[in-house]
Chain A
Amino acid sequence: MEIFSGLVQGFAVALQPANLLWCLVGVVLGTVVGILPGLGPPATIAMLLPLTFLMNPSAAIIMLAGIYYGAKYGGSTTSILLNVPGESASVVTCLDGYAMARKGRAGAALGIAAIASFIAGTVGVVGLMLIAPPLAKVALAFSAPEYFALMALGLAMVVLLAGRSMVKALLAMLVGLWIAGIGTDPFSTTSRFTFGRLELLSGIDFVVVAIGLFALGEVLACMEGRDEARALPVPKGLRNLLPTWQDMKDCRFAFVNGSVLGFLIGVLPGAGSTIASFISYGVEKAVSRRPQEFGKGVVEGVAAPEGANNSETGRALVPPLTLGIPRSGTTAVLLAALVLWGFKPGPLFITENQSLFWGLVASMYIGNVMLLVLNLPLVPLFAQVLRTPGFVLYPLILGISIVGVYSVSGSLFDVGMVMAFGLLGYVMRKLDYPAAPLVLGLVLGGAMERALRQSLMMSQGDLSILATRPISAVMLSLALLILLMPLFHKLNAWRLQALEE
């Protein structure tokens, strides 16, 4: 009943004309971003973050979330037309999607990807709606030691953000903790790591780091190649984009498989949407009556991974909104956005901001419908985005990044900091250091230190307080277990194989 009344309240917020418009802006922008190889959702959200300060928070979060799940829809377009995944979770879609496009069935592949994304996206939102409120109620019992353990658990998630080397991911996370510590210590007012610069006394703005690492870092990385992508043609006319009745019949199990498996696998610590898309593809192939056809252009090979990829969105928003811990680079940026707007993501977030939370949930239902309605007829138009030349796109991103940062602080020092973090982001890419763990450390660092120091103040310096309280002990054990997971050789080999593929 509580969920039903919340949803009614949410639709009242999401259906306001202004919010509908921002939802539309978000999903269209997200689709475009998903289509453009290289420019990901975290970079786009980080770039647009400064502009959202002028907006109503409900409208802003609706738009930013729209970018997030819209990008997942768009990611399939490049996989199918270019054989280039817009994001890692769309890698599997390339196998059969591109093969279908080469056979002249690009329209059916794009259509089935949109339908699978819609079904799975809706399943993900139902999951968010059902899981988030009870989880937040459990977290209300938390005190400082539990919060510290929760932050430690959040940092342990570095395992799923790590690339080939866990040591490098951990180092990136520690650099994030260090950056979070720059500025004035809130307990003692001691200035830390400020290099004598007055500008650093209030710390480094998250927007500066996020825009530098993601937006500028990606532009520098994309600058390495001068070749423009060549996409396969999209058939004209809506009828040619609609899958046949036989396609829909062939995909009926794939829709369920992708949606449910994607959601369930994503809940497990250590697994993300990339792994989920691989597993759902594997399951689909295993139960198929024509497994030998997989990889040669079967429609189920597109529906299952696309569903698994899209069911993740709703679920991925559960930890940031209810516990205040992000699970990916994008959710870290969304979490930081909430903090910058003056909210406190965590157990009380849903209770204190009912209209914001339920408005977001309702907007995701609406956004999924918008994406389905828009994506089918507009795919040929979106495909034109792929023809935007790099020499127009990249200066545009640079300009928006500079203006975005300057509009927040009015300081050229911050623009200089963006450049420094951009260079850092690029060098990290070259040396195979993942950027997401750094953002995770940056987002959680301040809260983690605060919780640790408050815990030790409670226990008069006795560290055992963290291990003797049951919830804290369980979460710390879980964090340790997650961190040790890659040591189990088979599991690590499986993770590396998925990354390799």
Chain B
Amino acid sequence: MRAARNADLWSGLALAALAVYIIVQASGWEYTGQDGPGPGFFPLWYGIAMAVLCVALVAASVLRGDKSDSVDWRGASRAFALWFALALSVAAFKLVGFVIGFAALCFFVVAVLYRRRAHVAAVVALALAASFYLLFPVLLGVNLP
């Protein structure tokens, strides 16, 4: 229960920081010139609207107390693990190329996240990586990262 209130509160504060950034940046650009509105005109207004809505969200979160629904973070570790694995494999593309980096990612998903045996993971990883290589650069002429 408390987690949801915190989620609204913290997401509201994070978006408020973005709103302040937009307003500060937009204030540095021309608001109106001889030819009409400048580059700062539109961002300034949606920045202000964002700030007002953030205040409403944060205030509602604080006033609502414990009445809000909870956010379930239990399964999030698997999602974040996949995201980090993907980040590592994308970073590795420059060094080892797409095929090897992607095969490693597939192996991780099958073996670690889905807890399948290593040989199953290896077969899936090799099959998927080989399929991508055959389909995109060889058959379609599309470059891989």
Partners in one complex: yes
A-to-B contact residues, CB < 8 Å: 51, 54, 165, 167-168, 170-171, 174-175, 177-178, 181, 185, 187-188, 190, 192-193, 216, 219-221, 223-226, 389-392, 394-396, 398-399, 402-403, 406-407, 410, 412, 415-416, 419, 422-423, 426, 430-433, 449, 452-454, 456-457, 460-461
A430:B76 contact, CB within 8 angstroms: yes
B145:A412 contact, CB within 8 angstroms: yes
B53:A453 contact, CB within 8 angstroms: no
27 A-B pairs within 8 Å (CB atoms) are namely: A51-B142, A165-B57, A167-B53, A167-B56, A167-B60, A170-B49, A175-B15, A175-B50, A177-B46, A188-B39, A190-B29, A220-B82, A224-B76, A226-B78, A226-B115, A391-B114, A395-B110, A402-B90, A407-B142, A410-B143, A412-B93, A412-B145, A416-B90, A422-B83, A426-B83, A431-B8, A452-B41
**Interface flag for B7 (CB, 8 Å):** yes
Nearest-neighbour CB distance to chain B for A226, whole angstroms, equals: 6
Interface mask (B85-111 → A, CB under 8 Å = 1, otherwise 0): 011001001100010001001100110
Kindly state the separation between the CA atoms of A402 and B106 in the bound complex, as whole angstroms: 13
Further 11 A-B residue pairs, CB within 8 A, beyond A174-B53, A181-B42, A398-B86: A51-B142, A188-B39, A223-B75, A395-B106, A403-B142, A403-B144, A407-B136, A407-B142, A407-B143, A419-B86, A452-B41
A392:B124 contact, CB within 8 angstroms: yes
Say which size band chain B's interface belongs to: 35 or more
B36:A219 contact, CB within 8 angstroms: no
Kindly state the separation between the CA atoms of A175 and B15 in the bound complex, as whole angstroms: 9
Kindly state the separation between the CA atoms of A29 and B98 in the bound complex, as whole angstroms: 26
Q: Which of B41, B43, B46 has the most CB of A within 10 A?
A: B46
Kindly state the separation between the CA atoms of A174 and B23 in the bound complex, as whole angstroms: 13
Kindly state the separation between the CA atoms of A402 and B97 in the bound complex, as whole angstroms: 13
**Hey, which chain A residues are within 8 Å of B50, CB to CB?**
171, 174-175, 178
Kindly state the separation between the CA atoms of A432 and B11 in the bound complex, as whole angstroms: 11
**Interface flag for B20 (CB, 8 Å):** no
B71:A431 contact, CB within 8 angstroms: yes
**Hey, which chain B residues are within 8 Å of A407, CB to CB?**
136, 142-143
Residue of B nearest to A458 (CB): B36
Kindly state the separation between the CA atoms of A220 and B109 in the bound complex, as whole angstroms: 12
B11:A174 contact, CB within 8 angstroms: no
Nearest-neighbour CB distance to chain B for A8, whole angstroms, equals: 35
Contacts A391-B110, A412-B94: A403 and B124 contacting too (C-beta < 8 A)?
A: no
Interface mask (B4-24 → A, CB under 8 Å = 1, otherwise 0): 000110010001001000100
**Hey, which chain B residues are within 8 Å of A430, CB to CB?**
7, 71, 73, 76
Q: Which 6 A-B pairs have the closest CB atoms?
A: A224-B75, A457-B36, A185-B39, A391-B114, A220-B79, A190-B39
**Hey, which chain A residues are within 8 Å of B25, CB to CB?**
192-193
**Hey, which chain A residues are within 8 Å of B54, CB to CB?**
171
A170:B53 contact, CB within 8 angstroms: yes
B46:A171 contact, CB within 8 angstroms: no
Interface mask (B43-74 → A, CB under 8 Å = 1, otherwise 0): 10011011001101100100000000001011
Residue of B nearest to A446 (CB): B42
B142:A223 contact, CB within 8 angstroms: no
Interface mask (B122-145 → A, CB under 8 Å = 1, otherwise 0): 001000100010001000101111
B11:A431 contact, CB within 8 angstroms: yes
Q: Which of B32, B33, B83 contacts A220 (CB 8 A)?
A: B83
Residue of B nearest to A427 (CB): B11
**Hey, which chain A residues are within 8 Å of B42, CB to CB?**
181, 449, 452-453
